[in-house]
Amino acid sequence: MDEIWYRAIDSLNAFGTSSQRTYFLYLIGAAILAYGAFMFGSNRAMITGEKDAPRSFKNFLKYLFDKDVFLHKSSQQDYAYFITNAFIHYGIISVYILSTPLFVFATLAIFSKYGGAHEGALVAASNYQMIVLSLVFAVLYDFGAFFAHYLMHKFPILWAFHKVHHSAERLNPFTLFRMHPVDLILTGIIIAILTGIGMGTMIYIWHVEVAYKELLGINFVFFLYYLFGYNLRHSHVWLPYPKWLSYILLSPAQHQIHHSIERKHWDKNLGLIFAFWDHLFKTLYIPKKDEEKFAYGVSKDEPNPYNSVISMYLKPCAEAWEIFAKGLSRKRAIFHLILLVGIGGFIYNIFLITGNNMKAIQSIPQTVFIEDLTWSEVNAAMDRGYDRIIIPTGGTEQNGRHVILGKHNYVVKESAERIAKQVGKTLVAPVMAYVPEEVHMSFPGTVSVSEEHFAAILEDAARSFQRHGFKYIFFVGDSSHNQKPQQDTAEKLNLEWFGEGAVVASISDYYSDNGQIKWLLEQGFTMEQIGGHAGIRDTSEMLVANDEGFRSYRITPKGFDTIDHGGDYKRANKKIGEKMFELKTEAAVKQINAVLNEAK
């Protein structure tokens, strides 16, 4: 119930959320374009109704905030309908129905069954892949919206519900929300099916990890479209595109024609973003340069057949029933209605159960970090074979005046995630930030614990995961003083657990045999330039893991004359950092796989 409430409240925040089409930034973009249309538009009759109206900023404001538009009874219906619909649709139905991930997982399951399942966890999508995925998602989403809209106009029983949207006699940004729940549900299901199957296919082919919110909230295609005049679609501002562009993108003027009361405009321009769907289905109408002024509504005889918000909900249901029952006896009509309600209830319950248990049907956890999962999500992951865990150890120590104290923690967390995803079926424990750091204790901010205490914490953490059923526990340390306690603890626990099915390993190659120095030497760096602590390697890694942890301007305390770093850190960069991560990850994965193979 909390989720329902928060979704409803969130949808009421129409101006403050970038995923909402009436986000304030999109409205500002629309106002700027409206000003251009007012000042330079050629069809003055469509813009102001007066061919010789003065083009001044004062007149523009009067035109933009036309009282006849925003205070009209139809607009007042829009405002009231928006509030009630937020709770009826966005707050309740969308929780269960608009569930694109369901179709993603179903598609993956089908491909995995008949095409073979991928081994290991999904990997993060590259920038190129994210661009392609976003474009594909936008095209599928747009076609889903078009096709649902097409069905609404072609089938009388669906038109009974969609007619609510067309009953607006004045267009304003809130007319967008003037849609009957049945209209919204059908549109949402079609979009969810198309985008879910499409994204499931792409994820299977590329084996990448991508969240629905990364594609929709907010997809760069939608962002640009919303920013450049989307809100003028439902407005009185006349803004056509050049003819050639009107075959590709639907202009605000084309959508206003879609709302026209004129018969020649009916069932035209059904698309959301792209115009080629309309061109393909022969429903495209491109505005004429001298397009005559037209009114909005359902028909000339009765532009708005709804006298209240309640009638906007109930009257379409009565009309749909009349269409449905026409030609049927009363008993057969009732039988068909019960059958339809039963089928609808069955589908609803599938979505309800799936929506409430979405995590349970996923083949992989949403993240490898257990601190970002619930205990039941960890349990579900373990049920699916996640029997390996990495315990990363970092440190809180001085890293020169140019890198923050938590460098090791950021770096080892980034490394652990990469290692876990490459190894597969592996989760990552919270980073241990308190480690032996006595050598740096002369610098404020450094935190050090004894090797005994550090080893004790490692041991207790390992015992915790062993009790929960993890079979493989890997220590990955990013600091030199972590290595020996990790090795000693692993040896102690392996002796104790011998024959019990649990293996502990200190992945020392990650730190001491990763090939970083060799690679840097091959690039032409000298050992003096490479240095050691807080040098090129550490600094480059930090630039990748958290570039905000690098200080371009150092603070040097008065009287400071101690060396706090090695090498020439100014030669560090993200390109080197990525290579450093690649080498460390490769070394760790190789050692872990050797441990896994030996344990089989």
Inter-helix orientation angle 330-356/100-115, to 10°: 80
Cα 385 to chain center, whole Å? 27
For residue 506, what are the β-bridge partners? 475
Structure tokens at 161: 């519900």
DSSP, collapsed to helix, strand or coil, labels residue 450 as: coil
Provide Rg for the chain, Cα atoms.
31
Residues 580/581/587/591 CA torsion (nearest 10 deg): 160
Are 411 and 479 spatial neighbours (Cβ–Cβ below 8 Å)? no
pLDDT (0 to 100) of residue 558: 86
Burial class (CB in 10 A: 0-12, 13-18, 19+), 270: buried
pLDDT (0 to 100) of residue 3: 46
Task: Give the helix ranges, DSSP H, for 384-508.
Answer: 407-423, 451-467, 483-496
Domain boundaries, the chain: 2-309, 370-599
Pairing of strands 123-124, 388-393: unpaired
Pairing of strands 123-124, 503-506: unpaired
pLDDT (0 to 100) of residue 230: 83
pLDDT (0 to 100) of residue 333: 72
Q: Quote the CA–CA distance of 275 and 380 in Å, as a whole number.
A: 45
pLDDT (0 to 100) of residue 529: 93
Peptide bond into 218 cis (omega under 30): yes
DSSP, collapsed to helix, strand or coil, labels residue 369 as: strand
Distances 240 to 46, 51, 277 between C-alpha atoms, Å: 11, 17, 18
Work out the percent of the chain whose per-residue pLDDT is above 70.
86
Are 109 and 203 spatial neighbours (Cβ–Cβ below 8 Å)? no
Q: Quote the CA–CA distance of 357 and 351 in Å, as a whole number.
A: 10
Q: Is the pTM of this model over 0.85?
A: no
Cα 179 to chain center, whole Å? 25
Domain 370-599 has CATH 3.40.50.10310: yes
> First-to-last CA distance in the chain?
47
DSSP string, 519-571: HHHHTT--HHHH-STTSHHHHHHHHHH-GGGB-SS----TT-------S-GGG
Distances 579 to 280, 415, 475, 573, 575 between C-alpha atoms, Å: 48, 12, 22, 10, 7
Nearest Cα residue to 180 out of 313, 310, 74, 270 = 313
For 475-504, how does the pLDDT look when each residue is reduced to its tens digit (9 = 90+)?
Answer: 999 999 999 999 999 999 999 998 888 999
pLDDT (0 to 100) of residue 103: 78
Structure tokens at 468: 């929960």
The residues, any chain, with a CB within 8 Å of residue 58's CB and separated by 6 or more, are: none
Q: Quote the CA–CA distance of 300 and 421 in Å, as a whole number.
A: 62
What is the chain's pLDDT, residue by residue, as a tens digit (600 residues)? 444 444 555 555 556 666 666 777 888 888 888 888 888 877 776 776 555 667 788 888 888 888 888 999 999 998 888 888 776 655 545 544 456 777 777 787 788 777 776 665 567 677 788 888 888 888 999 999 999 999 999 999 899 999 999 999 999 988 988 999 888 888 888 888 898 888 888 888 888 777 655 565 556 777 788 888 888 899 989 889 999 999 999 999 999 999 999 999 999 999 999 999 999 999 999 998 888 889 999 988 888 999 899 999 999 999 988 888 887 777 777 776 787 777 666 665 555 555 444 444 444 567 899 999 999 889 888 988 899 999 999 999 999 999 999 999 999 999 999 999 999 899 999 999 999 999 999 999 999 999 999 999 999 999 999 999 999 999 999 999 999 999 999 999 999 998 888 999 999 999 999 999 999 999 999 999 999 999 999 999 999 999 999 998 888 888 888 888 999 999 999 999 999 999 999 999 999 999 999 887
